[in-house]
């Protein structure tokens, strides 16, 4: 274990994480991209390859742990918020964009272990890769020290000013997490047109309104575009942001599975229908 720590220069990263690993092999695994694990596996007789696992399992665990700890922190910090408000701010804090920023702050990228081929491809600087690695490190922190080191890291690096900024945007009705802009950029990049938001229903008394909004792709020559998602909120702006957030999640999920289309999935249709019923 001492050799693992010395060879990998873990001291600097551990200082940034605020935790000294009792099992440094966990951190080593969290930093190992699948390209390197695959490369080592191709080397006949490579001793390291037999024991080296990539970080994807730790990423799965870290994603869940991070979501739990951020939810716990928000629950304690904002007792006046309802479930929808907590969900929206948590989504912003654990988003790929924010976690990539956190990874850059702690200098995670330079510790990422890549294959020689990917080393020259610029993969080390890609937001998706560093944010996924950050989640894997959260999983390693949890396995090595339990929830406390994860909580400490979340307080110092993930929450802070970012949580306060999202809270201010939530209170003001501003573009929380900028989901609408992110969706528009994504659709335009894929030549899917601009998103169109339509009010589906509103419910509740004046002091506690709930709005249901649907977002679609823009159709041609007056035709209706493909439905993407529906969202709810206490203002029209927040409902549109929620719809955009859900649409982004569905599109990312489709990409992760098979690069499928952007139409609303059967599961999402069922969920949206249930929301519309409850809102009416």
For residue 176, pLDDT over 90 is answered with no
Structural domains in the chain, sorted by start? 2-169 (1.10.1520.10), 173-279 (3.30.160.20)
Phi/psi for 53 (5° steps) reads -115, 145
Dist. CA 82–CA 87, nearest whole Å: 9
Q: How far apart are the first and last CA of the chain?
A: 60
Where in the sequence numbering do the catalytic residues fall? Answer: 63, 135
Supply the angle between the helices 160-172 and 83-93 in degrees, to the nearest 10. Answer: 140
Task: Provide the pLDDT for residue 139.
Answer: 97
Share of the chain above pLDDT 90, in %: 32
pTM here is: 0.60
Dist. CA 7–CA 30, nearest whole Å: 15
Q: Which helix (H) or strand (E) holds 163?
A: helix 160-172
Report the phi/psi class of residue 219: left, alpha or beta, with left for phi > 0 and alpha for psi in -120 to 50: beta
Tokens found for residue 224:
């209706």
Tokens found for residue 193:
């047109």
Dist. CA 27–CA 15, nearest whole Å: 13
Query: 92-129: per-residue pLDDT in tens?
Result: 899 888 999 999 999 998 888 876 655 566 667 778 88
The distance from CA 24 to its chain's CA centroid, rounded to whole angstroms, is: 25
Tokens found for residue 151:
């909580």
Largest CA distance in the chain: 71
For residue 250, pLDDT over 50 is answered with yes
Query: 31-41: per-residue pLDDT in tens?
Result: 988 776 665 55
Query: 130-171: per-residue pLDDT in tens?
Result: 899 999 999 999 999 999 999 999 999 999 888 887 777 766
For residue 62, pLDDT over 70 is answered with yes
Dist. CA 197–CA 194, nearest whole Å: 10
């Amino acid at each position: 274990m001492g050799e693992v720590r010395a060879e990998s220069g873990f001291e600097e990263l551990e200082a940034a994480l605020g935790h000294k690993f009792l099992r440094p092999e966990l951190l080593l695994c969290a930093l190992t991209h699948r390209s390197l694990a695959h490369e080592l596996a191709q080397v006949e007789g490579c001793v390291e390859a037999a024991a080296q696992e990539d970080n994807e399992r730790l990423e799965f665990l870290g994603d869940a742990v991070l979501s739990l700890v951020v939810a716990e922190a928000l629950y304690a910090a904002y007792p006046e918020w309802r479930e929808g408000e907590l969900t929206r701010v948590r989504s912003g804090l654990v988003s790929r964009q924010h976690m990539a920023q956190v990874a850059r702050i702690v200098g995670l990228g330079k510790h990422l272990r890549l294959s020689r081929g990917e080393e020259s491809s610029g993969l080390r600087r890609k937001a998706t890769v560093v944010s996924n690695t950050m989640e894997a490190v959260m999983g390693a922190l949890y396995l090595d020290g339990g929830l406390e080191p994860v909580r400490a890291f979340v307080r110092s690096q993930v929450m802070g000013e970012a949580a306060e900024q999202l809270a201010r945007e939530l209170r003001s009705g501003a573009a929380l997490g900028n989901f609408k802009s992110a969706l528009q950029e994504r659709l335009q990049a894929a030549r899917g047109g601009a998103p169109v938001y339509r009010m589906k229903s509103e419910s509740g008394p004046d002091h506690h309104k709930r709005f249901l909004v649907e977002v679609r792709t823009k159709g041609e020559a007056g035709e209706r575009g493909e439905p993407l998602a529906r969202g709810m909120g206490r203002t029209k702006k927040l409902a549109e942001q929620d719809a955009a957030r859900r649409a982004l999640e569905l599109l990312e999920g489709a990409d992760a599975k098979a690069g499928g289309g952007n139409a609303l999935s059967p599961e999402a249709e069922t969920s949206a229908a249930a929301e519309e019923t409850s809102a009416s």
